[in-house]
Structure 1
């Protein structure tokens, strides 16, 4: 059974991550740990009040979703650094995922300087980043944005996630040399080796006049996948340059698609 640590600060925006976790658990056996951390001191009495507040907050959201609150826990902790507290507790309870919301419109431009951005670049545990615009719907399609170099290592991880929901996978790769000589042959070989009834490939020529984000956003809006899957460790600098930079903020990459970030 999967275990998801779902973070909240009691804000309306944080309800998006909670709704996504509830949808996730409604489709596959899963334990949800609803977690609140702040950097103010709490007496035992105050902590109990916070735990009751958290429980009331979560159950009110469950009521709006008409889903049952099965296998749930409520945790309140005090930490000077909230991101470190989240990671520490996720490791302590052996969570499979951390689920967190963005802070407002523009999923990546509003990550800059937030707890979510810190977790993306430091968490050893896969991170589900949920935009504030998320609305519940069945999880049935994963879009895996890949640079192809580690397809044999990464795709099996994506398949494991997709199998939880019997979902399809579409692998997207963007390259300015997509139609040239050996590149074209290599892409055809990769597609033939890894495609299946559940896995399809989409190779698109990268127009250098437009950013990678622009290409990706067009496809996200067209396909409306349930989750966008990305890997960051081997290309951390690339990820930060494209998704956490000031240029990204200016571009305003905005989508209502939840993002699953693996750091391998």
Structure 2
């Protein structure tokens, strides 16, 4: 069975991600792994190993109680899930290491709480996962309120369309979500736009979709143009593919659209690695 990893720091801000994951997993009977990153905050003296084990055991009990309260608040019968305490000094690295050693993890769902300018550059846990994770990440806004999951908005530059659309389809179809494809037209993509046909894509995939082509407003950053469309269309989920092979200076001066949106949008954001 495929599994979804859902990190929590026990804060209220992390609860939207937990609630979203519980409802999403119920749609296709996925297993959930709720994880808390244990970061030792004090040097241990004496029997250091025993003291650390005791702290980890306390964290395990706290995590299990925290998750039970979330399920109770939703008034839903728990599906298959486990609670894991992961030891590490950096949450994002610890999460990625765990996923690498557990190939059954096919998705990470994590809440985002916003970020300062410096944190956007150096990376928050959510931002770092978006720009580093080889498996898809769903970022849930801290103020998100549960809504029916009906449709996904797939924003694309039309490059590698067949491969990307198949991955979107693999996510949406088992969950019964409709797909709307969004592209911002520009002179550099006119040739690709001519080959974009809804009937051809539907014939290839056997799945209905809507195509929306909008003129790109060059006076605004792409993230703002996309945000305007999100507010207009009101999708349940936005899907993006991000290029993770950027240098530090590219991240500093040319922020990833998907990473930037994870701090602004009130709509859950699903990010795949290109």
What count of residue pairs does the alignment treat as equivalent?
256
Q: 2:175 aligns with which of 144, 158, 165?
A: 165
Distance 1:36 1:207 in 2: 42
State the SS of the aligned residue for 2:267: coil
Assess if the C-alpha contact under 8 Å between 1:102 and 1:110 holds in 2. no
Bigger mean CA deviation after superposition, 253-262 or 154-163: 253-262
Q: Residue 135 of structure 1: CA displacement?
A: 1.4
Counterpart in the other structure of 2:201: 194
Counterpart in the other structure of 2:44: none
Distance 1:20 1:98 in 2: 11
Q: 2:137 aligns with which of 118, 127, 135?
A: 127
* Structure-1-length-normalised TM-score: 0.86
State how 1:1-264 maps to structure 2 within 5 Å: 1-40=1-40, 43-94=52-103, 95-104=105-114, 112=121, 113-177=123-187, 183=190, 186-192=192-198, 193-195=200-202, 198-233=208-243, 240=251, 241-243=254-256, 254-264=264-274
Aligned pair in 2 of structure 1 residues 43, 235: CA closer, same or farther (>3 Å)? closer
List gaps (5 residues or longer) in structure 2: 42-50
Distance 1:214 1:109 in 2: 21
* Structure-2-length-normalised TM-score: 0.83
Assess if the C-alpha contact under 8 Å between 2:29 and 2:79 holds in 1. no
Aligned pair in 2 of structure 1 residues 263, 72: CA closer, same or farther (>3 Å)? same
Q: Residue 89 of structure 1: CA displacement?
A: 1.1
Q: Residue 117 of structure 1: CA displacement?
A: 1.3
Assess if the C-alpha contact under 8 Å between 1:140 and 1:166 holds in 2. yes
Q: Residue 54 of structure 1: CA displacement?
A: 0.4
Q: Deviations over 1:106-157 (max 9, x none)?
A: 9x99755211111112111111111112111222211111110110110000
Assess if the C-alpha contact under 8 Å between 1:217 and 1:253 holds in 2. no
Q: Deviations over 1:64-100 (max 9, x none)?
A: 1111211010001220222111011122222001111
List gaps (5 residues or longer) in structure 1: none
Assess if the C-alpha contact under 8 Å between 2:114 and 2:263 holds in 1. no
State the SS of the aligned residue for 1:154: helix
Distance 1:234 1:70 in 2: 34
Q: Residue 191 of structure 1: CA displacement?
A: 2.2
Assess if the C-alpha contact under 8 Å between 1:35 and 1:75 holds in 2. yes
**RMSD between aligned residues:** 2.9
Aligned pair in 2 of structure 1 residues 71, 222: CA closer, same or farther (>3 Å)? same
Q: Deviations over 1:42-73 (max 9, x none)?
A: 62222111111001111111111111211010
Bigger mean CA deviation after superposition, 109-118 or 209-218: 109-118
